[in-house]
Amino acid sequence: MAKSNPGARPSRSEVHPAYEVRHSSVHGYGAFATRDIKKGERIDEYLGERISHKEADERYEDHDENDNHTFLFIVDKRTVIDAGIGGNDARFINHQCDPNCESAIEKGRVYIDALKPIARGEELGYDYQIGREKEDPPNVDEIYACRCGSPKCRGTMLWPPKRPAARKRKAKKSKQVARKATRRTRSSRKK
């Protein structure tokens, strides 16, 4: 099995018409505009090895759960891109709570597009919106703490920003009532 390299350095040979990679105050390396970028402009494609979710889980099963540094991007329910293997410098675009970019998935490919005009020298960033999971460790908010520095910073790269509060379950009065409540809850979620 291939071993991902999330600690990789930016490519010295990759040339981008819109950005360069250098040290960032947000996190490690970051991508910075080398020219003014227009709103809606496609900046780059997020590249790397395309693998299954199962393979991504196996690849990172030895990964320290207190380290959030990977280059995984979920494309759909079958595919994950691991930019730690064969990835390009788009993997260095950091998270921002008030982003100037967004990721767009089209026909199984992931692109980074400008959400608003970006001035030369400005760091590029998009909202990672990393999903919360039931198995998350208690310190998950520390692990995925955001350092974007925006006045709109929510303090985490996770989505939703706060861990949902555990609901207290009411004692069931009867099985029939419980089933109706379940149906009502399911139908209300679809709206």
User: What pTM was computed for the model?
Assistant: 0.77
Q: Looking at residue 174, what is its pLDDT?
A: 40
Q: Looking at residue 161, what is its pLDDT?
A: 78
Whether 25 is in a domain gets the answer yes
Residue 57, Cα to own-chain centre: how many angstroms?
A: 16
Is the previous residue joined to 160 through a cis bond, with omega within 30 degrees of 0? yes
Whether 8 is in a domain gets the answer no
In the chain, the number of structural domains is 1
Whether 7 is in a domain gets the answer no
Whether 11 is in a domain gets the answer no
CA distance 152 to 120: 22
Whether 169 is in a domain gets the answer yes
CB atoms within 10 A of CB 10: 18
CATH number for position 35: 2.170.270.10
CA distance 34 to 10: 16
CA-wise closest residue to 6 among 59, 55, 42: 59
Evaluate whether 75 touches 108 at the Cβ level (below 8 Å): yes
What are residue 32's phi and psi, to 5 degrees?
-125, 135
Q: Looking at residue 76, what is its pLDDT?
A: 95
Evaluate whether 94 touches 24 at the Cβ level (below 8 Å): yes
Whether 6 is in a domain gets the answer no
CA distance 31 to 76: 25
Whether 64 is in a domain gets the answer yes
Per-residue pLDDT tens digits of the chain, which is 191 residues long:
566 655 566 776 678 889 999 999 988 899 999 999 999 999 999 999 999 999 998 998 887 776 666 799 999 999 999 999 999 999 999 999 999 999 999 999 999 999 999 999 999 999 999 888 888 888 998 989 999 999 999 999 998 877 666 665 554 444 433 333 322 222 223 33
In which domain, by residue range, is 24 found?
A: 19-190
The secondary structure of 85-106 as a DSSP string is TT--GGGGPEE-SS-SEEEEEE
What are residue 187's phi and psi, to 5 degrees?
-70, -30
Whether 147 is in a domain gets the answer yes
